Amino acid sequence: MKNIFYTITIASLLFAGCDDFELADQGLGFQDLPGYVAFDAPGDDAVLDDVEATEDQGTVELTIEVPTGTLSDINVDFSFSGTAEFGVDFTVVGATASGGSIVLPNNVGDVNNFDNVDIVVELLTDGVADGEKTLTVTLDSAQGVDGTAFAVGRGGTELLRSANVIIADID
């Protein structure tokens, strides 16, 4: 019986001590995270592992998600960097050597009814023993067709803003 009394007394003290606690009094507050688009990582991971591929593999799909809502489609601009060369080591339909754009469609006018969309990277066999190449795809900007600006990367941070594809050379 003694342990129950101590537990109840401690819990009462904790709750009683919180009655007048205000975040603002402590210099703290809540801030809404911006709506954002990001690469989709498996599970709850905040880091996307490098995608390992060979140049004769065919394609690699990099999935983009929008976990926050809007009532319009979202245009996402992306860019390429790294040692892989566009048109020699890889290509993406509708893109140029510097990058491209893709649309995340809102399916039926529901705020949170988005399907993830894939950037499909076609790997090219160049027939030259030139070693491993790296392709980095970076999400640069995102905007709803209604004018709503979206951050890129999870919560508007660098997390899941870029995806790396490591392309192994074949003999």
Give the SS3 label for residue 136: strand
Please check whether residue 4 lies inside any domain of the structure. Answer: no
| Residue position matching structure tokens 């893709």 | 102
C-beta atoms surrounding 10 within 10 Å: 10
Could you list the residue range(s) of the whole structural domain that residue 100 is in? 36-168
Counting residues of the chain whose pLDDT is more than 70, the rounded percentage is: 71
Structure tokens that stand for 72 in this block: 């319009």
Q: What is the mean pLDDT of residues 86-109?
A: 90
Does residue 85 register a pLDDT over 60? yes
Please check whether residue 1 lies inside any domain of the structure. Answer: no
Does residue 13 register a pLDDT over 70? no
Please check whether residue 9 lies inside any domain of the structure. Answer: no
Query: CA–CA separation, 59 vs 39, rounded Å?
Result: 17
Q: Would you state the pLDDT for residue 48?
A: 83
pTM, full prediction: 0.76
Q: Would you state the pLDDT for residue 107?
A: 67
Does residue 2 register a pLDDT over 60? no
Does residue 37 register a pLDDT over 50? yes
Please check whether residue 127 lies inside any domain of the structure. Answer: yes
Please check whether residue 93 lies inside any domain of the structure. Answer: yes
Please check whether residue 3 lies inside any domain of the structure. Answer: no
Please check whether residue 27 lies inside any domain of the structure. Answer: no
Query: What CATH number did the domain enclosing 47 receive?
Result: 2.60.40.2030
Q: Would you state the pLDDT for residue 130?
A: 86
Q: What is the tally of structural domains in the chain?
A: 1
Q: Would you state the pLDDT for residue 158?
A: 87
Please check whether residue 29 lies inside any domain of the structure. Answer: no
**Average pLDDT over the chain, rounded to an integer:** 81
Q: Would you state the pLDDT for residue 7?
A: 43
**How confident is the model over 109-140, as pLDDT tens digits?**
555 556 789 999 999 998 888 899 999 999 99
Residue closest to 133 by CA, chosen among 55, 23, 16, 18: 55
